[in-house]
Amino acid sequence: MIRPIIHDTMLLMNKAEPAGEKDMQTAFDLRDTLLAHSADCAGLAANMIGVNKSIIAFFAEGVPVVMLNPEIIAHSEESFETEEGCLSLSGVRRTKRYRRITVEYQDMMMKKRRMTFIGFTAQVIQHETDHLKGILI
pLDDT at 124: 98
pLDDT in tens, 68-104: 999 999 999 999 999 999 999 989 999 999 999 999 9
- Nearest Cα to Cα of residue 124 among 76, 74, 72: 72
Identify whether the C-beta of residue 110 lies closer than 8 Å to the C-beta of residue 67.
no
Given a cut of 50, the residues of the chain with pLDDT beneath it are none
Number of Cβ within 10 Å of residue 127's Cβ equals: 23
pLDDT at 85: 94
Q: Which residues have a catalytic role annotated?
A: 128
